[in-house]
Structure 1
Amino acid sequence: MTGRADLRLGITDVAPVVSCGSFSARAVVGEHLPVTATVFREGHDAVAADVVWTAPDGTRAPLNRMRRYGDQPDRWIATVVPDREGRWTFRVEAWSDPLATWHHAVEVKIEAGQGAGELANDLEEGARLLERVAGDADDGWAGRLTEAAAALRDESRDLHDRVAPALTAALQRYLDEHPVRELVTPSPEYEVWVDRPRALYGSWYEFFPRSEGPVVGGTPTHGTFATAADRLPAVADMGFDVVYLPPIHPIGKVNRKGPNTAAYPGGNPHEIGPDDVGSPWAIGSDEGGHDAVHPQLGTMADFRAFVDRTRELGMEVALDLALQAAPDHPWVKSHPEWFTTKPDGTIAYAENPPKKYQDIYPVNFDNDPEGLYAEVLRVVRVWMDAGVRVFRVDNPHTKPLDFWHWLIWKVKETDPDVLFLAEAFTRPAMMHQLARLGFTQSYTYFTWRTARGEIEDYGRELAANAHYMRPNFFVNTPDILHESLQYGGPPMFKIRAVLASMLSPTWGVYSGFELYEHVAVRPGSEEYLDSEKYQLRPRDWAGAEAAGRTLAPYLRRLNEIRRQHPALQQLRTLTFHPVDNPNLLCFSKTDPGSQDAVLVVVTLDSHDRQIGTTSLDLPVLGLDWHERFGVTDELTGDRYDWGQFNYVELDPYREPAHVLSLALPRQVTWPPTAR
């Protein structure tokens, strides 16, 4: 015989729960987290439920009463709001509700015409229940409860007068808040790891500090942390929160790759010269390894100054954590067991046929896990001590899962504010498991979702898994220039920016996107021509701004809208609405507990005007089907009167999207069917 024997009442399908409780669910400070469960019992007596919510220090919040919601009669919900970082726990407690049972029985019997004699036992039961509550009540309520109990026993009154004092609205509200709980049945206890808000919401900007050097006589010079800091005010002005830097360590000199390496997957015919800077992901040389700064960028003190300047501007630094090594990395000599040796005695370099990366040695985690794990933790703490609290992890899906679980939670034991972004463009099972075991955020398949159906399906999938997987929608990366940007023209850059910034609470841009960089190294490739991964790529920011050839003001406005509307900082409330034109996408987000909602309609066609009619699910917005409401387009300032059905016309060359803010008449809840 298996299973729990103490389940006096029924509790099933508790959420949020990850892998049957094997991993923690996720939330951020201040987030409205819905806790749901199916609660039921035998017979006809009333059942109720509470959420027991416990803080990391063991402090228990007051019981949070659950309410029925949705179309299933036994589904219950309550919302909890964590106020600090750390490991919270919750459980659901089901209980028999004798007050509700009594209330229902008395009303039904009176409606059926039964008299006081037939209700004698019911009246006495009610009086005893009220006296039980009065025993723990303050003097004011104790008196009212005692009077109501006395009225139930007063045979000189008619039946309705005896019952009425116990059924007043005020007394019923008090009894709802101070119930009689019997047959209390707890669920197992589940964990929720609560991060700081940046784990859910933020705008990322990626750039290479080495490309921020001056151009002298038409020749780019290597940038430093000091020259890169000059770029930070412009990034802050565009409204970005996180500055992501590719690896800043010494770059290998052995088998170094040259410009446009991607054009020659089998090898680069370019003869590498002294001015070829190589790939930052080919980490390590005689100048140091993962714990060192590339000498052409500056010193560790210079990096700290860069971090400080970023903070002064209201942003923070995310640093790349790439666990791989160049052939001349110090690890190769000191710890050859950390790599894979082939039968001929050489160390295996990275391959993704037909691509060959002779400049990179993958790390083998199986030969000396204890030593390698300790070294990686040491390296991470070096950069934490330098002020880094966010790590963008390169290719985590090529490393063991148990390693990441160990590393992430080892860091969070002492520094719960440190965040980890998984750059895992891989199979769904691996991507989701990395999220379950501890990664704060994940890159996604957004870049390759361009048609309405696939965007809607993917958005729903991410929203449904918001309790453990948080997406980061990058519109482009140094590795990914999608064909939609190659051939869609400037309007497509706006379209993709709107989609990324409005669909996901966290989104990102790789430098050059705002200049409409769109030329691939060859047809059919997603690699940039003159990829910044292999060469310096200075950009004429001032010239582009003077000529009006920059998307920077548009990105600034999108980030302003995101900051002004808490609804856009949510994931689980994402809802798609029908439109009768497949080239138009309509979706909304709401902010639980407030009156903020945003409705977005965007064209997916960057070439032609599109016309359609929306069919909005108004209850999702907290509105009745017949209601009209005012909306303001946050991109243009235009105002409209909308209802369920609305005519939309979007010209991509003028403005490809409506981003509409709604002034809702009441606070919204999530799920929207909660009652």
Structure 2
Amino acid sequence: MTGRADLRLGITDVAPVVACGAFSARAVVGEHVPITATVFREGHDAVAANVVWSPPATPGRRPPKAPLQRMQRYSDQPDRWTTTVVPDREGLWTYQVEAWDDPIGTWHHAVEVKVEAGQGAADLANDLEEGARLLDAVGKTVPKEHRTAVAAAATALRDESLELTARLAPALAPAMTELLHAHPVRRLVTRSPRYEVWVDRERALYGSWYEFFPRSEGPVVDGVPTHGTFADAAERLPAIAAMEFDVVYLPPIHPIGTVNRKGKNNTLTTVEGDVGSPWAIGSADGGHDAVHPELGTMADFEAFVARTRELGMEVALDFALQAAPDHPWVTEHPEFFTTKPDGTIAYAENPPKKYQDIYPINFDNDPAGIYAEARRVLQVWIDAGVKVFRVDNPHTKAINFWHWLIWDVKKSHPDVLFLAEAFTKPAMMHQLARVGFTQSYTYFTWRTEKWEIEQYGRDLAGTAHYMRPNFFVNTPDILHASLQYGGPPMFKIRAVLASMMSPTWGVYSGYELFEHVALKPGSEEYLDTEKFQLRPRDWAAAAAEGRSLAPYLTRLNQVRREHPALQQLRTLTFHPVDNDQLLCFSKTDPGSDDAVLVVVTLSSQHTQIGTTALDMAALGLEWSDRFTVTDQITGAQYEWGQFNYVELDPYREPAHVFTVTRHAPLG
């Protein structure tokens, strides 16, 4: 038999741990990260635990001695212990759980039980001396200012001239108990393996994304759209910043293939002026390291990135490892692709869909060459100022490739983030997160019923230690039926759900104009999809005519910035409501008393009424407490308790976004 023979005490079920420690758990700077473990021992003596929480190593310096952070028992699980750590910088942190025999805890319990049983000083003679000896040991380790008090408590335990209660009083006083808790006597110390936590910057967990196509921002001349440039697109940035978005996401900005180029609405034939799909990357003008000439130059792109930063945002760029038939790779590196028996290169297929304008990469043909080229391309855009990449279809590429690529980038650029656009099976989505992806697209778009929204939210909160969601309400590829037929109220409803449930959420341009017409019944593709044509929008006219959701999106983003509770994932809690068309959930911020409570209707057609049954403990309240809720959308205030009547008309306001103000205790 094999195993560790040094495990004197029991330590099991340590968390957060990813794949038994094969990969790093995740957190962000300033996040409150719970560390838990089951700690136990034989017999009845007391056991205690602590965490050794170690910061990233600094080159050229000896690592500082990591302080011990004492763990506390769960009140309802006596063998389960927990504490919270808060990383203050990016990089690779580690932690280790230590279990130990707690003689002071054993002594306290034994003395209290014996005194309650009526035993006197003679019966407790040995206990009193054992306590004094423990205090002698503690006196050597406590700060100097406490040593006199510890020595006095030991002396009192040995003073036979005092009554028993007087002998015990100094040692059992609350201040002494607190001191002994902070400076314990640790015996039989047993240690868990050391586990890793990779800590990213805050944007890895929290942010509001806005996606748009720079090429659609050109002027309309005589009713005909013209191809936009980065300079044109930069004129759109102040409006996006005014809506309080944090990340501007751009589809691929590279040259677009001309061979097998798709026409409008994904047709196989093109006419003069068809611009093709940005995801069909590469032409005679260059490949993944080049800028589409009609958008401008690399210098123009860098100016766009700089302008975005001036407005308090940053650019996320699409990273799509695929090629158009006329991409330079096809002639320079034919080994990157799959060659069919007839000698032709295989284009992409997702039966019955065919992508004749795209060649997928075969990662098994020349992995070394593909790895090197992908890393080189990423560095080009990192050098241009990009720190966030939305990765297209990562689930169709090798997992070990992503693990290598992401962590190779982070060696020199720890602030670079990667979003996985992986609408695929759960196992693959989760494995991509485990191996290194910072965020992931999710199934949120297709979760519309109350039970499945709640279940999915709980699942995501339960895997927050490695998988961070990004709730996009729509994408250029996805126009869900709920938006096609739900009317303007449904656009508000989905925006509330995405922005309030997930720390990171996003919209694709046109959502604020209620764009909802599908290519055909049963399709989730937009009619006149922007993937294959220019689609300029008259933002000013929409705002003037009151046809824009921009003010509502702005308010949601403002509330998110104002309330740190909404920047959390781990604290997401659902509360019962006696109506399947009403959803209630809350979030709290472990670093403050901030709490946000959301009640939203899932019906875009009819008024819904119901009664909440709040989990008061999740809000940091007692079951009988009364408190004030303030609606951050309308400004209305109500006095609430555990049970509350709710009525929501989707045509007026489909949701309450409440902040919670606790009443001061009486007296």
TM-score normalised by L of structure 2: 0.98
Q: Is the 8 A contact 1:595 1:665 kept in 2?
A: no
Counterpart of 2:64 in structure 1 is 59
Q: Is the 8 A contact 1:597 1:664 kept in 2?
A: no
| Secondary structure at the counterpart of residue 274 of structure 2 | coil
In 2, Cα distance between the equivalents of 1:340 and 1:531? 29
TM superposition shift of 1:138: 3.3
Q: Is the 8 A contact 2:276 2:531 kept in 1?
A: yes
Counterpart of 2:222 in structure 1 is 217
Q: Is 1:152 aligned with 2:157?
A: yes
Which of 343, 347, 350 in structure 2 is aligned with 1:349? 347
| Secondary structure at the counterpart of residue 373 of structure 1 | helix
Counterpart of 1:43 in structure 2 is 43
In 2, Cα distance between the equivalents of 1:70 and 1:227? 60
What is the CA deviation profile of residues 207-240 of structure 1, one whole-angstrom value per residue up to 9, with x for unaligned ones?
Answer: 0000000000000000000000000000000010
In 2, Cα distance between the equivalents of 1:237 and 1:112? 70
Q: How does 1:243-258 map to 2 (within 5 A)?
A: 243-258=248-263
In 1, Cα distance between the equivalents of 2:289 and 2:301? 12
In 2, Cα distance between the equivalents of 1:569 and 1:140? 42
Q: Is 1:75 aligned with 2:73?
A: no
TM superposition shift of 1:198: 0.2
Counterpart of 1:610 in structure 2 is 608
Q: Is 1:530 aligned with 2:535?
A: no
Q: Is the 8 A contact 2:254 2:281 kept in 1?
A: yes
Q: Is the 8 A contact 2:393 2:421 kept in 1?
A: yes
TM superposition shift of 1:374: 0.4
TM superposition shift of 1:249: 0.1
Q: Is the 8 A contact 1:236 1:313 kept in 2?
A: yes
In 2, Cα distance between the equivalents of 1:180 and 1:217? 84
In 2, Cα distance between the equivalents of 1:61 and 1:590? 29
Which of 232, 238, 250 in structure 2 is aligned with 1:227? 232
TM superposition shift of 1:269: 5.1
Q: Which amino acid aligns with 1:298?
A: G
Which of 110, 114, 119 in structure 1 is aligned with 2:119? 114
Q: Which amino acid aligns with 2:150?
A: L
Counterpart of 1:670 in structure 2 is none
In 2, Cα distance between the equivalents of 1:289 and 1:665? 61
In 2, Cα distance between the equivalents of 1:278 and 1:101? 74
Q: Which amino acid aligns with 2:164?
A: L
Q: How does 1:278-293 map to 2 (within 5 A)?
A: 278-293=276-291
TM superposition shift of 1:593: 2.5
Counterpart of 1:265 in structure 2 is none
Counterpart of 2:549 in structure 1 is 551
What is the CA deviation profile of residues 502-538 of structure 1, one whole-angstrom value per residue up to 9, with x for unaligned ones?
Answer: 0000000000000000000111000000000000000
In 1, Cα distance between the equivalents of 2:391 and 2:445? 18
| Secondary structure at the counterpart of residue 490 of structure 2 | helix
Q: Is 1:86 aligned with 2:91?
A: yes
What is the CA deviation profile of residues 340-370 of structure 1, one whole-angstrom value per residue up to 9, with x for unaligned ones?
Answer: 0000000000111221111000001111111
What is the CA deviation profile of residues 621-672 of structure 1, one whole-angstrom value per residue up to 9, with x for unaligned ones?
Answer: 1111100000100000000000000000000000000000012469xxxxxx
In 2, Cα distance between the equivalents of 1:60 and 1:662? 41
Q: Is the 8 A contact 1:595 1:663 kept in 2?
A: no
TM superposition shift of 1:70: 4.4
> Which region of structure 1 is more displaced relative to structure 2, 496-505 or 112-121?
112-121
Counterpart of 2:487 in structure 1 is 489
> Which region of structure 1 is more displaced relative to structure 2, 497-506 or 69-78?
69-78
For structure 2, which runs of at least 5 residues remain unmatched after alignment? 58-62
Q: Is the 8 A contact 1:17 1:190 kept in 2?
A: yes
Counterpart of 1:187 in structure 2 is 192
TM superposition shift of 1:8: 0.5
In 1, Cα distance between the equivalents of 2:98 and 2:542? 61
What is the CA deviation profile of residues 299-352 of structure 1, one whole-angstrom value per residue up to 9, with x for unaligned ones?
Answer: 000000000000000000000000000000000000000000000000000111
Counterpart of 1:369 in structure 2 is 367
What is the CA deviation profile of residues 539-572 of structure 1, one whole-angstrom value per residue up to 9, with x for unaligned ones?
Answer: 0001101101000000000000000000000001
In 1, Cα distance between the equivalents of 2:537 and 2:357? 27
Q: Which stretches of structure 1, 4 residues or more, deviate above 4 A after TM superposition?
A: none
TM superposition shift of 1:156: 1.2
Q: Is 1:638 aligned with 2:643?
A: no
In 2, Cα distance between the equivalents of 1:207 and 1:140? 63
Q: How does 1:257-336 map to 2 (within 5 A)?
A: 257-261=262-266, 268=267, 270=269, 272-336=270-334
Q: Which amino acid aligns with 2:44?
A: H
What is the CA deviation profile of residues 72-128 of structure 1, one whole-angstrom value per residue up to 9, with x for unaligned ones?
Answer: 110000000000000000010001111111111111111112121221111111011
Same amino acid, percent of matched pairs: 77
Q: Is 1:178 aligned with 2:183?
A: yes
What RMSD in Å do the two structures reach over aligned CA positions? 0.9
TM superposition shift of 1:274: 2.9
In 2, Cα distance between the equivalents of 1:97 and 1:273? 80
> Which region of structure 1 is more displaced relative to structure 2, 297-306 or 141-150?
141-150
Counterpart of 1:201 in structure 2 is 206
TM superposition shift of 1:60: 4.2
| Secondary structure at the counterpart of residue 73 of structure 1 | strand
In 2, Cα distance between the equivalents of 1:648 and 1:488? 22
For structure 1, which runs of at least 5 residues remain unmatched after alignment? 262-267, 667-675
TM superposition shift of 1:136: 2.2
Counterpart of 2:60 in structure 1 is none
What is the CA deviation profile of residues 233-259 of structure 1, one whole-angstrom value per residue up to 9, with x for unaligned ones?
Answer: 000000100000000000000000000
